[in-house]
Amino acid sequence: MSHTFDDISQQLKHRHRKSTRLKWITMGSLGLAGLFLVLFFADMLNKGLPAFQQAYIQVEINYNEEAETDGRQAFDEELIPIISRTMVRVIPMELRNNPDMIGTSTNEWVLATSEVDQYLKGHRSSLSPEERAAIDERVEAGQVDMRFNTTFFTNGDSKIAEYAGILSAVIGTVMTMIVTLAISFPIGVMTAVYLEEFAPDNRFTQAIEININNLAAIPSILFGLLGLAIFINFFGVPRSSPLAGGMTLALMTLPVIIISTRAALRSVPDSIRHAAFGVGCSRWQVVRDHVLPLAMPGIMTGSIIGLAQAMGETAPLIIVGMVAFIPDAGVSFTEAATVMPAQIFTWSGEPEQAFVEKTAGGILVLLTILISLNAFAVVLRKKFERRW
């Protein structure tokens, strides 16, 4: 018995309604996910962006003899609570280096305390009402200015909030990542090349394969414990050093690099391998001259993403002691260092209001770097994408 179009349309109506409903549900979940992302970024930007602004106050500095021993003597007494302690500290040193300056006076813009800074930004501040009035007066007189916070990028950590910066953490991150990449990239790529191009397909290699995939799913803190037990306690690698942290993160990045390298190698068509074998290449020549160059963009992409993941990792580094207080960044692989996520973690535990802002600011810097890295990986992949 045949059906008329009307019969069939009647049935189809129900099915169409169902698929429309499903479409809305999927779009709804996408919208929800997007909303969370927007909220997160809005919150971070709202909290973090003020961190890139810093209050400066124009003050008169009198270089007198007492100031050589007590920096406070160079400033008007009422300025002491509102200018940064770091300014006061440098006066005696300046005078010792340039004794001629004694007896002179200058008008300079100096760093305000974080409390003044927070007050001006409209946040909670511990300034007394009199101090607030004094600040307001100075604002009227044009003696207070919000400037771009270069200190945040040129300084290491400090207990003085307005003087704390992210530089030592950035340097520590770079050093740690150098170690991570130097270890995990060659080992990871070589392992993948062996598994993909040389190893026979038997139970043993299958077991290795499964375990590598499992390794990628292990909680990162376990890698930290492993690093602590093996690298620090057994091999005596200095605690808190970029070497210890980098090696620990290398363990974590290794499976990511192995898996992405294998995928990249597998995407090179066999016809290329056959062509190379056909002209008499040895296995290693096939890999080195033909397969690896073609797989390189994919390998790079995977490695960058693995590196970005390692860069945002905190837990294993806390275990190996990379949450140290590092005011001055030393460029050394064996001295104590800290990394960006650990710095953010440290700041998030500080009670002062100014550090809330620093925390969000640090997150913004870290996010910017991570997003740039991932974007770079995407660009790399798009640029070298090849069709056979």
User: Using CB under 8 A as the criterion, what x/- string covers residues 220-259 for binding another protein?
Assistant: ----------------------------------------
Q: Which C-beta is closer to another protein: that of 181 or that of 287?
A: 287
Nearest residue (CB) to another protein, 17 versus 274:
274
Half-sphere exposure of 282 (CA within 13 A, CB side): 2
If one asks whether residue 278 binds another protein (CB under 8 A), the answer comes out as: yes
Dist CA 192 CA 212 (whole Å): 10
Closer Cβ to another protein, 235 or 388, answer by number: 388
Q: Using the rule CB under 8 A, is 60 a contact of another protein? A: no
- Per CB under 8 A, the list member of 62, 290, 312, 348 interacting with another protein is 290
Q: Does 288 bind another protein (CB under 8 A)?
A: no
Helix (H, G, I), strand (E, B) or coil at 150: helix
Residues between 192 and 211 with contacts to another protein, criterion CB under 8 A: 200-201
Own/partner pairs, 365-374, CB within 8 angstroms, 24+ separation: 365/166, 365/170, 365/340, 366/311, 366/312, 366/340, 366/341, 367/44, 369/311, 369/340, 370/308, 370/311, 370/312, 373/304, 373/305, 373/307, 373/308, 373/311, 374/304, 374/305, 374/308
Q: How far is the CB of 32 from another protein (least distance, A)?
A: 44
Rounded least distance, CB 23 to another protein, Å = 41
Residues between 327 and 386 with contacts to another protein, criterion CB under 8 A: 386
103 binds another protein (CB under 8 A): no
DSSP state of 233: I
Asked if 296 touches another protein (CB under 8 A), the answer is: no
| Three-state DSSP class for residue 70 | coil
Region near another protein per CB under 8 A, out of 23-31, 65-73, 107-115, 284-292: 284-292
In the complex, what is the shortest distance from the CB of residue 274 to another protein, in angstroms, rounded to a whole number?
6
Count of chain residues binding another protein (CB under 8 A): 21
The C-alpha atoms of residue 160 and residue 158 are separated, in whole angstroms, by 5
Q: Does 279 bind another protein (CB under 8 A)?
A: yes
Unique residue bearing structure tokens 């090179």:
268
Residue spans of beta strands (DSSP E) within 140-194: 144-148
Q: Single out the segment in contact with another protein by CB under 8 A; choices: 9-17, 48-56, 118-126, 285-293.
A: 285-293
Q: Which residues contact 295 (CB under 8 A, 6 or more apart)?
A: 261, 264, 265, 267, 268
Stretch of 90-98, 214-222, 229-237, 283-291 contacting another protein, by CB under 8 A: 283-291
- Interface with another protein, residue 122, by CB under 8 A: no
Report residue 27 CA to chain centroid gap. Answer: 31
Q: Are 91 and 71 in contact (CB under 8 A)?
A: yes
In angstroms, give the least distance from the CB of 302 to another protein: 20
Q: Which of residues 255-274 bind another protein (CB under 8 A)?
A: 269, 271-274
291 makes contact with another protein (CB under 8 A): no
Cβ 311 vs Cβ 373: under 8 Å: yes
- C-alpha neighbours within 13 Å on the C-beta side of residue 335: 11
Provide the binding-site residues for another protein, judged by CB under 8 A: 200-201, 269, 271-282, 285, 289-290, 294, 386, 388
